[in-house]
Chains A and B, each alone.
Chain A
Amino acid sequence: MTPVVVRRPGPNGSPAAIAFHTALAVLAALALAGALFAVQGADPLAAYAALFSEAFGTMRGFGFSLVRATPLALIALGTVVAWRSGFGYLGFEGCFMVGAAAATAAALASAEGRMLAPLPSWLALALAMLASFAAGGAWAGLVGLVRTRLGANEVLVSLMTNYVGLLGVQYLISGPMRAPGGLPQSERVPSDVWLPFVIPGSRAHAGILLTVAAAGLVWFLLRRTPLGYELIVAGLNPAAARYGGIEVGRRVLLASVLAGGLGALAGMAELLGVQHRLVDGMGGGVGFTGVVVALLARLNPLAVVPLAVLYGGMTVGADAMQRGAGIPSSIAAILQSLIVLLILASERLRYYRLNPSLFRLGRDRAGAAPGRPAGP
């Protein structure tokens, strides 16, 4: 019996093979989630049409997709900077909350009669962004310091810092920053420091423009500057980088600060663009879904924004389906994670190919076909 597939000596790295296997993985994920639609009595094709038309078919829906995409993309960009530099940071849940808290504090300081009240509102907004970026940079930078100075494992440390950040914000909104009233939440920030809405008739706010700019900057930094080159080399092979005169520790530290700042800006955008006051649990797992988006983008900053819009759109579409057809919105999370899991799995498929001898019908199965040179 001739085997149908045989192992290749190495993975097939041609762009066509990568595209083929990625498409295969996405289709398999769509089919699996489609089966879940079918089990609930919905026609899978109609369900997918509804999902995506809600998210991308109307200006209002598209605006919501952009709103959902903004924090995802900023966290994904933070992931790109950190992971490309060999810093396996997973503390974005905490960064997000720290960034939101810092933005709240700065924005509230610009309210009537407070310290920053005399400032023009655009300056107060810029200051809130800066405060958020700085707080997140310091937050993740501490983890970078622990890794570079003490050699600790940043994956485990950063996972633990998430809870310190979440609990810290819980403390702030039930204590020092708590607004009068029954709920643990901060005061509402004054409306002139909100991120302005950018598409009439939708909730899309200026955070998406910030995100696009950030993606461009991250791409420029990593691909067009000597510093970015050093970051990437430090991530690919720290020993070789050190041998080549790159100060790996300082580069990793810089990457951790940038990543934390980007993660914090996600919290800032959610706060000044959507929530407008600090509340517990406003992240809702975005710190991990953002990492998933970065993985899907294969850590390419330019692919991050479109994929974040796609993933944000899936969430928006699924929410609408839950309201309309009663199909649980959690199907979005299934689709979002299955796609990445199956793409990861498909990379193993590139080690295999169809057995060539199957195509030499009947003749000469044992050796090379006549007229062709024998292999090396």
Chain B
Amino acid sequence: MGAGHWLGSAFLATWLAASVRLSGPVLLAALGEIFAERSGVLNVGIEGTILLGALASYLAAYASGDVWLALLAGAAGGVLSGVLLAWMYVTIRASQVVAGIVFNVLAVGLAGTLYRLALGASAAPQTVAMFEPLRFPLLSGLPVLGPVLFSHAAPLYLAFALVPAAHFVLFRTGFGLALRAAGENPKAADNAGISVARMRYAGTLISGTAAGMSGGYVVLAEVGLFRETIVSGQGFIALAIVILGRWRPWTAALAAVAFGAADALQLSLQLFGAGLPPQLLLSLPYVLTILAISGLFGRSAAQPAALMQPYAPR
């Protein structure tokens, strides 16, 4: 493939397939974060939660060799992180930003220590079993569409299947209504008989579970290894996706693919030898996010009104 052909269909298929593939883990984490933020909790701690989920999944895969069990272990690690975070956010009523930032530092320390504790100090990194790309009869063989849509590992389809599910729960169920009420106007929700604390625990735990699975996803479908640097900003990317997606699952999925596309485009451009600085493309989604929240294009009514505000029932 010469440099002159870099906009050919091979390039297009590689790029789009990688866009979809790279959007999976951050989409999963962002879907959970939507629940936390809709309940009024800015869960900055998902960065650390993803790391601990990745570790739990890695260790489970190392011990059992079963990828699905390992993914569940990641979710369990996320639930544990979520319990601690929710306790800090809701019961202790600490500043959410403070608790989240400090938790992220704790998670880096815990991940490094527990990894060495489990595998010994001198252990060389070992690869674990990974999800294989699924093969669909006929569909996977299609030109362009085959690699783009029908060549991914199972967790990716899980992440995208959760988009309509998250939308349904948030906007079509009583639980979703109560959760949103807790994040929009906690006092009114309280007066209406909704337990704001319970809703915020639920939102934080959902976000913890999803972030833990997202970490497992990175290990089990992308890397196959664990390192302390395996999670470098995916949690913050998820925060950006929630904002760019205006706190809604479907638009968040689009935003996740946009982030994935920027990431994939810089990889492909390097591969095909185009002379654009990759960092420019990588920073584009962040700049877009900043513009989206800056208020340059009007205030966003989508942001939950009570986001980041601890609520003390009285």
Contact = CB atoms under 8 A, between A and B. Distances in A.
B101 A330 contact: no
Given A159-B239, A344-B88, A328 B283 contact: no
B290 A151 contact: no
A307 interface: no
B109 A160 contact: no
A124 interface: no
B231 interface: no
Given A164-B283, A330-B108, A157 B103 contact: no
A123 interface: no
B127 interface: no
Main secondary structure of the interface of B (DSSP, over half): helix
Contacts of B97: 88, 90, 155
Nearest to B287: A164
Interface string B242-281: 0100000000000000000000000000000000010110
Interface in B153-196: none
B128 interface: no
Contacts of B101: 90, 288, 291-292
A333 B299 contact: no
Interface in A142-160: 146, 150-153, 155-157, 159-160
A210 interface: no
A159 to B, nearest CB: 6
A330 B117 contact: no
A171 interface: yes
Given A153-B293, A344-B92, A160 B286 contact: yes
Counting contact residues on chain A (CB < 8 A from B), the size range is: 35 or more
B263 to A, nearest CB: 12
Interface residues of B, number: 49
Interface string A266-305: 0000000000000000000100110110010000000000
A151 B103 CA distance: 28
A288 B104 contact: yes
Interface string B82-97: 0000001001111001
Contacts of A157: 290, 293-294
B308 interface: yes
B295 A330 contact: no
B308 A337 contact: no
B193 to A, nearest CB: 23
A291 B105 CA distance: 11
A40 interface: yes
B66 interface: no
Contacts of B111: 330
Contacts of A329: 112
A157 B308 CA distance: 14
A77 B121 CA distance: 36
Contacts of A156: 42, 239, 243, 293
Contacts, number: 134
A341 interface: yes
Nearest to B308: A155
Contact of A341 (B103, B115, B286): B103
B111 to A, nearest CB: 7
A141 to B, nearest CB: 14
Given A39-B117, A168-B283, A328-B112, A292 B236 contact: no
Contact of A150 (B113, B228, B295): B295
Interface string A314-347: 0000000000001011111111111011001101
A331 B109 CA distance: 6
A57 to B, nearest CB: 23
Interface in A63-79: none
Given A292-B101, A341-B103, A345-B92, A170 B279 contact: yes
A167 interface: yes
Nearest to B233: A163
B109 A332 contact: yes
B112 A330 contact: yes
B110 A328 contact: no
Contacts of A40: 117
Interface string B115-140: 11100011000000000000000000
A162 interface: yes
B106 A338 contact: yes
Contacts of B233: 163
A288 B104 CA distance: 9
Contacts of B113: 36, 328, 330-331, 334
B223 interface: no
B283 A333 contact: no
A370 B172 CA distance: 62
B240 interface: yes
B294 A295 contact: no
A331 B117 CA distance: 11
A257 to B, nearest CB: 18
Contacts of A330: 108-113, 116, 228
Interface string A6-43: 00000000000000000000000000000010011000
Contacts of B293: 152-153, 156-157, 160
Contact of B279 (A159, A167, A288): A167
B98 A344 contact: yes
Contact of A161 (B92, B277, B290): B290
A285 B106 contact: no
Interface of B: 42, 44, 88, 91-94, 97-99, 101-106, 108-113, 115-117, 121-122, 228, 233, 236, 239-240, 243, 277, 279-280, 282-283, 286-287, 289-290, 293-296, 299, 303, 308
Given A152-B295, A328-B113, A328-B116, 5 more contacts: A151-B299, A160-B236, A163-B286, A341-B103, A348-B91
24 contacts: A40-B117, A150-B294, A151-B295, A152-B294, A153-B293, A155-B42, A155-B97, A156-B42, A156-B239, A157-B293, A157-B294, A160-B240, A160-B289, A164-B283, A174-B277, A175-B277, A326-B121, A328-B112, A330-B112, A331-B113, A334-B106, A335-B109, A341-B103, A347-B92
Interface of A: 36, 39-40, 88, 90, 146, 150-153, 155-157, 159-164, 167-168, 170-171, 174-175, 285, 288-289, 291-292, 295, 326, 328-338, 340-341, 344-345, 347-348
